[in-house]
Every structure is written in C-alpha cells, then in structure tokens.
Structure 1
C-alpha cells in the first residue's frame, strides 16, 4: 500500500529534499516528486495529484503558506504537511486555517515521516471501509 502513495517534497534546499526522498524510499514510497518552491509545488500538484505534500514554509517565489492555499483549493483531499525550521505560532495557526494536515519541525527524522505516512494510510483504510 505504501508503494502506491504518491508524495511531493517541496523545499528550496536540495539537501533537505534529498533527505526527505531518501527517507521516503526507505519507508517504501516509490512515487516521489520534487519541487524547489511554492510555484513548482502548485504546478506539480496540478499535473501529478500527489496524495501527500511535504511543504516548506519559507521559500522564494511563492512561500509555503501561499502554495498551501492554492493546493488546498485545487485538491482538498491532498494531505499537506507543513515543514519549517522555525517554531512560529503564526505560521502554524495560518497553516491550520488554510487546511494543512499537519506541521513538522525541521530537521525531520525518518521516524516522523514514517508516522505521518502510517497515519495517512490508516485514515485512507478507515475511509474506504
């Protein structure tokens, strides 16, 4: 089931994207897409329709909050997990109001990613019963 999920990783840091992707592959996710800013993330969501998006908040061109808003309007069923190295409560609150599924703190560990994937899978299984 995990291999069937599609995941978009959006972060302006190539190093962080690679860490996410390596963790996702270790977990068993095979359909992984990348974006380096919010604009690319919105376009990727239009084309690929991922099940899950890991979305950085602070990025050039279009930040994660603006991208979240567009992604949620286009595909409200997509689970968007906001990721940030800051603990700003304003970002967290705004993300929740705009439909973010969850919020994670950087640096991200594989166990946190695994927990989120398992939670999404469990909810998907429960919804299909």
Structure 2
C-alpha cells in the first residue's frame, strides 16, 4: 500500500506537479491545501504519513502551519519547499521540526529522494 501524502502550496500548478510526481511513484495524495490554515485542517482530517509544505503561502505561512500541525501531532513528518534565497526560513523550519526541505524549482528526483528519506 502506498504512503499517504498531503500537499500544501498556494500555487495550483505546483500542487499539480508534485501530485503528478508522487502518484506516478506509488504514493497517495490524500489532500491539497492552498494555505496554512487549510493545511492544519486537512492534516487533522486525513492523518497523512507526510506533508509537503510550501513556506510562502497566504493566510498562514508554512512555518506557522508546521508549528500548528506539530502541536497537534508531535510525530508529524513534514518536508518544507522553498524558493531560492529563503535560507533563514529554511533554518527556522528545520528548528520547528521539518524533516527536510526541497528548493524550488525542483527536480522530480529530489522530491522523491526527500520523501523516501523521510517515510520510505
């Protein structure tokens, strides 16, 4: 059985690209959130094995959502995605409990490598 993954990114195109990479490789995408508030809601509903979360989103950013998810589930597995030049945010994300981060624009191999490293 494939692992369940929640995708959080404010760009529909990015969600579609990530979903495509994951589903072609046997993972189940159990939800898609366009902001941090929705990400926390969907995490609670779907209990995914992994969350792929963009850092920069409206309403609540990825770091706020990461903290919210980990407050509900300290064992939550989250990989952050960020654009180039957001090193300070990446460091904050790792300190807040993110397991890895992927820099955009990313290659399919890098996404899969990070996902496999965290949830197998």
Q: Which TM-score band (shorter chain)?
A: over 0.9
TM-score (norm 2): 0.93
Q: Which residue does the alignment assign to 2:44?
A: 46
Give the deviation of 1:119 after TM superposition: 1.4
Aligned CA-pair RMSD? 1.3
Is the 1:7–1:51 contact (alpha carbons within 8 Å) kept by the matching residues of 2?
yes
Which structure shows the bigger proportion of residues in helix conformation? 1
Unaligned runs of 5+ in 2: none
Q: Which residue does the alignment assign to 2:110?
A: 112
- Which structure: larger Rg? 1
Give the deviation of 1:6 after TM superposition: 0.8
- Corresponding pairs, count: 120
Q: 2:91 aligns with which of 90, 93, 99?
A: 93
Query: Please, which moves more after superposition, 25-34 or 35-44?
Result: 25-34
Q: Which residue does the alignment assign to 2:80?
A: 82
Q: Which residue does the alignment assign to 1:37?
A: 35
Separation in 2, partners of 1:26, 1:85: 24
Separation in 2, partners of 1:101, 1:60: 23
Deviations 1:58-86 (A, max 9, x none): 11010011001111111122211110113
Runs of 4+ in structure 1 deviating by more than 4 angstroms, as ranges, are none
TM-score (norm 1): 0.87
Separation in 2, partners of 1:118, 1:37: 25
